[in-house]
Amino acid sequence: MTQDHFFDEIESHYKSHLPFVMYRKPDDVSVKAMLQENDEVYNTEDFIESGFVFSPFDIEEDTILIPLKETASIEVIYAMDDKEVFESSRESKNRLDDESTLAKRKSLHMDVVASAVKAIKEEVGFEKVVISRAETIRISGTDPIPLFKRLLNTYNSAFVYCWYHPKVGLWLGATPETLLKMQGRQLSTMALAGTQQYKGTEEVVWQDKEKTEQQLVTDFIVGNLQPSVEGLSIGKTKTIKAGSLLHLKTELRGRLSASTKSIRSVLLALHPTPAVCGMPRERAKQFILNHEEYDREFYTGFLGELNLKEKKSRNNNRRNVENNVYGSVRTVSNLFVNLRCMQCKNDEILLYVGGGITKDSIPENEWEETVNKTTTIKNIL
């Protein structure tokens, strides 16, 4: 299948108001798509089905599934389009925020951050809460394919996606954070926290606030996974680049214990992580619901491949066809936290962005962090 044919198929599906998802996994060259053949809304509670899952921030709300058995799957090797990069850069220079609107957004966000800092200082055991905001940008119509291509061209190391259901909505994003990767019973996840602007080098100094935030996320994941995971190992914390930003990342690996029968218990243990919610989780979640004054919906939820079959050859030498016949089939899931995302509604695009708040947070700095996080994604528009 050619690249043009691939995107023609997507465009036809979109114009027919049928659900689909197209996506590229981090550092991959292939773009895959699942095209649902009807407009039904399928849900999952047990996460035992196969397909593509789209779950909200509040796990008690409906998790949407594009079931593999109800879809046609297509794939193409994606070649970067330099023209798309140029057009995106040129058009973005003509976009200016209204100063009064920007001032109102800033004041509101800083007030919520200040309230969070106050609550953390006053309440025993309340260590962190993630405060987010939505920014509205008005556009003249939405064509998701050019937006998706620009995301592909900009974020090579992120999970890039475009998800559409006529009865749910249209979302696009490029997230740097893995929630859970499963291969058989082997699993890996990551703690991702801390943010600063990339200025030509990954050799940077991290402040105590970012280091503390990263350690809180790591400790939470370790504590929650231990009941269901054996042989849990913690890698070294590293600085990684995601678009124009840097983050702290710690990888964790292990194996499901014999008593753990499904992926659901692991997902409930991980989601929402302190990187998108806070600690303790329920206290932070309630603060978010009471103070953010908007519905996150699928922002800071999770999405990705669920229980797909993957064939693994016993022999890496492709010429040895005889041994390759005896390859094994394993079940894989690749799930990502829905960060750096946008929701398209008619002639508006909602950009979602947030940051972790601790007792040492400074409202002005937290506002600037959210501004930095939206800069690259705004250029996509």
Query: For the segment 41-62, what is each residue's pLDDT rounded down to a tens digit?
Result: 999 999 999 999 999 999 889 9
The answer to whether position 107 is within a domain reads no
Q: For 139, left (φ over 0), alpha (ψ -120 to 50), or beta?
A: beta
Residue in 359, 357, 282, 322 with CA at minimum distance from that of residue 59: 282
Q: What's the one-letter identity of residue 239?
A: T
- Which structural domain, as residue segments, surrounds residue 149? 3-93+112-312+329-380
- Residue 348 falls within a domain, yes or no? yes
Low-confidence stretches of the chain (pLDDT < 70) are 81-97, 313-327
Degrees to nearest 5, angle at CA 256 with 250 and 258: 155
- Distance CA(361)–CA(219), nearest Å, equals 20
106 occurs within a structural domain: no
Amino acid 182: pLDDT: 95
Structure confidence by residue, pLDDT tens digits, 196-253: 888 899 999 999 878 887 887 898 899 999 889 999 999 999 999 877 788 899 999 9
| 223 located within any domain | yes
pLDDT of residue 320: 58
Q: What is the pLDDT of residue 281?
A: 92
What pLDDT does 197 receive? 84
324 in any annotated domain: no
Q: Residue 114 in contact with residue 131, Cβ under 8 Å?
A: no
Do 284 and 226 meet the contact criterion of CB atoms below 8 Å apart?
A: no
| pLDDT computed for residue 25 by the predictor | 97
| Side-chain-facing half-sphere of 67: CA atoms under 13 Å | 12
3-state secondary structure 252-277: EEEEECCCCCCCHHHHHHHCCCCCCC
Number of domains in the chain: 1
The reported pLDDT for the residue numbered 140 is 77
Does 103 map to a domain? no
| Residue 135 placed within a domain | yes
Instruction: Give the CATH number, domain containing residue 153.
Output: 3.60.120.10
Task: Evaluate whether residue 317 is within a structural domain.
Answer: no
